[in-house]
Amino acid sequence: MTTHFLSLQFLLPFILLSTTTTTLAQPAPAPGPPAPTNITKILEKASQFTTLIRLFDITKVGDQINTQLNNSKQGMTVFAPPDNAFSSLSAGTLNSLSDQQKDELIQFHVIPTFISSSQFQTLSNPLRTQAGDSTFYNFPLNITTSGNQVNLTTGVVNATVANSIYSDGSLAVYQVDKVLLPMNLFGPQPPAAAPAPEPLKKKKKTGDDTTATGDSTANSSGGVNLRLELHGFVGGLIAFIAMVFYL
């Protein structure tokens, strides 16, 4: 019995080692599919974007961004003003906007393509945003660089990219120091179109007829006078001849 006990003492470590090795050698479970991109969660994690998140929710632009990201390969870029940028606006600015104008304002901060930080130097201006028409007096956004600094101008405000919040090759989110105010909503109105020139007035026929009639009348009057003068001359000549014969 002592012999069996000693044998178990020597075999027990080998049994435990074998069991442990088998357990450690088991493959790790495969990672699940990545969670769909969510712009709201990205901004919540970054903090200081409460106002922008609220506007994303009101206008449904946040849902639109998430849908486009998960169903398109073009990617997107978001310029995100923090809460202090919104608080620096004139009092009542956001409340004075209609729902449509709020939607246009937020869409103006979204680019329908992915822009990496290295691509800012090669962009063509004006940059087209989700707000649409990028022509002057509408929604133009121009980007310039100076060294590592990226500047944005809307025709109403000049802003700067403060830092990169998020980038995964599909979505890029950059913090900007000011709210991007588009010209269409906050800029000067386009000048009124000049009135069309009036068409040239044609000469009235009545005036021409009058002139012609006047000329005809003048010619007629001149002819009458000439006949009267001839008649008087002939009469005088006859009287002169008669007087000569009488003498």
pLDDT tens for the 247 residues of the chain, in order: 455 544 555 555 555 555 554 444 566 666 656 678 899 999 999 999 999 999 999 999 999 999 999 888 889 999 999 999 999 999 999 999 999 999 999 999 999 999 999 999 999 999 999 999 999 999 999 999 999 999 999 999 999 999 999 999 999 999 999 999 999 999 988 887 777 777 776 666 555 554 444 454 445 455 545 454 555 555 555 555 555 454 4
Domain count, the chain: 1
Three-state secondary structure call for residue 19: helix
Query: What is the 3-class SS of 132-176, one letter each residue?
Result: ECCCCCCCCCEEEEECCEEEEECCCCEEEEEEEEEECCCEEEEEE
Residue 200 lies inside a defined structural domain of this protein: no
Residue 245 lies inside a defined structural domain of this protein: no
Q: Which residues contact 184 (CB under 8 A, 6 or more apart)?
A: 104, 131, 133, 137, 138, 139
From CA 65, how far away is CA 63, in angstroms rounded?
A: 5
Residue 141 lies inside a defined structural domain of this protein: yes
CA-based diameter of the chain, in Å? 208
CA dihedral of residues 23, 25, 26, 32 (deg, nearest 10): 130
Listed residue (88, 58, 73, 43) closest to 181, CA to CA? 88
Residue 15 lies inside a defined structural domain of this protein: no
Is-contact 87 132, C-beta < 8 A? no
CATH number at residue 64: 2.30.180.10
Token couple for 113 = 């393509």
Residue 7 lies inside a defined structural domain of this protein: no
From CA 66, how far away is CA 35, in angstroms rounded?
A: 12
Residue 169: give the domain boundaries.
Answer: 39-186
**Number of helices and strands (H, E) in the chain?**
8, 6
From CA 173, how far away is CA 145, in angstroms rounded?
A: 18
| Confidence (pLDDT) at 173 | 98
The kind and range of the H/E element at 236 are helix 205-246
Angle at 64 between CA 60 and CA 67, to 5 degrees: 140
Is-contact 55 39, C-beta < 8 A? no
Q: What is the DSSP string of 183-198?
A: HHHHSPPPPPPPPPPP
| Confidence (pLDDT) at 152 | 98
Residue 204 lies inside a defined structural domain of this protein: no
Radius of gyration of the chain (CA): 48
Listed residue (113, 109, 144, 112) closest to 126, CA to CA? 144
Token couple for 187 = 């800029």
From CA 19, how far away is CA 74, in angstroms rounded?
A: 51
Token couple for 218 = 């003048």
